[in-house]
Homo-oligomer: A and B are copies of this chain.
Amino acid sequence: MNAPEILPSPASNFSLDVWSARQLDVIEQALSRWVACPGDAPALAGLDNAMRYAVLNGGKRLRPLLVMAACAAVNGNEQAALRSACAVELIHAYSLVHDDMPCMDNDVLRRGKPTVHVRFGEAQALLAGDALQALAFELLTPDDDSVNSQTQARLCRMLAQAAGFQGMAGGQAIDLASVGVPLTSSQLHEMHRLKTGALLQASVMMGAACGAASLQAQNALRDYGAAVGLAFQVVDDILDVTADAATLGKTAGKDAAQDKPTFVSLMGLQASRQYAQKLLAQALASIRASGLENTRILQALADMLVNRQH
């Protein structure tokens, strides 16, 4: 469990692994049911296959777990959370499909398998990504009474902002423009705040939006999401230089080879590790300030994200 020393250990009857396994079971089933299910559209010329290949590929589902954990902390609507969890994962999955394309990172391997454009062709990859983004918003707006309209609208707003030009897509544009360019620490932070941080933070906030969190709790979870989102990227940069491809499931050392600025290239390895731990401490402090009681999952997730080995 690697529970951080700064906090009391989670109750001995709690295991993140057990909780995660149960959640992942539900999430994988929901994704398999909702992503362009065979039979929905018999004549889609393989688009449905490309979409399913992009999503049902053994991802770690960190974002969905953050959604479910935040929903649990506010005792929210679990149907709304499950839809949000899947929607956030679809946005993440589409971004990987487009990011891997030849005009972007030109990556041929993702989680140990051929990337979508290698397997299905570039045009199909482009369309599959586009369709996954639309599907995310479709999942958030079911035409029944399982999620009230106010929550539907709010979830769409949060996801759209996190995915768009002032979130993930904007961060990717900065990333594109920064290859081979020396960035300052604040520019690197801004890039990652948008590129990966916005969607991770939105995962937490959307989970919280599935319940009736106080303003104090919402603000605390926003801070938690920001710290966890940034820490995730710092750890990614660390693993890019310390882990091997087999452990990582993707090409290691790639950022350095492409002359992309990273936290490690800017701060060095040791300082990056210290920074990740500092961000973890900040995330845990935010949780304590939330006034929420059922936060042990959020605590354990933050710890796992920072201390992961792949």
Residue ranges of A at the interface with B (Cβ–Cβ < 8 Å) = 36, 40-41, 43-48, 51, 94-95, 98, 101, 103-104, 121-124, 126-127, 129-131, 133-138, 140-143, 148-150, 152-154, 156-157, 159-161, 163-167, 169-170, 172-174, 176-178, 187, 190
Contacts and interface: CB of A to CB of B under 8 A. Distances in A.
A267 B296 CA distance: 66
Nearest to A162: B134
B46 A173 contact: yes
Contacts of A123: 103-104, 176
A173 B45 CA distance: 6
Given A43-B174, A44-B173, A160-B134, A101 B127 contact: no
Nearest to A103: B122
11 contacts: A40-B165, A40-B166, A44-B165, A44-B170, A44-B174, A45-B178, A95-B130, A98-B127, A103-B121, A131-B169, A141-B157
A28 to B, nearest CB: 20
B43 A172 contact: no
Given A134-B161, A153-B156, 19 more contacts: A43-B174, A43-B187, A43-B190, A44-B173, A44-B174, A98-B130, A101-B126, A103-B126, A104-B126, A123-B176, A127-B169, A129-B130, A130-B163, A133-B134, A134-B164, A135-B164, A140-B156, A149-B150, A152-B156
A178 B44 CA distance: 11
Tell me the dominant secondary structure on chain A's binding face.
Answer: helix
Stoichiometry, as copies per complex, reads 2
Nearest to A117: B103
A266 B135 CA distance: 33
Contacts of A101: 103, 126
B165 A137 contact: no
Contacts of A154: 141, 149
A34 to B, nearest CB: 11
A157 B155 CA distance: 12
B169 A130 contact: yes
A173 B130 CA distance: 11
Contacts of A140: 156
A164 B138 CA distance: 9
Which of A41, A46, A173 counts the most chain B CB atoms within 10 A? A173
A83 to B, nearest CB: 12
Given A43-B190, A44-B170, A47-B165, A133 B133 contact: yes
Contacts of A138: 157, 160-161, 164
A101 B98 CA distance: 13
A268 to B, nearest CB: 25
Nearest to A164: B134
Contacts of A122: 103
A132 B4 CA distance: 41
Nearest to A174: B45
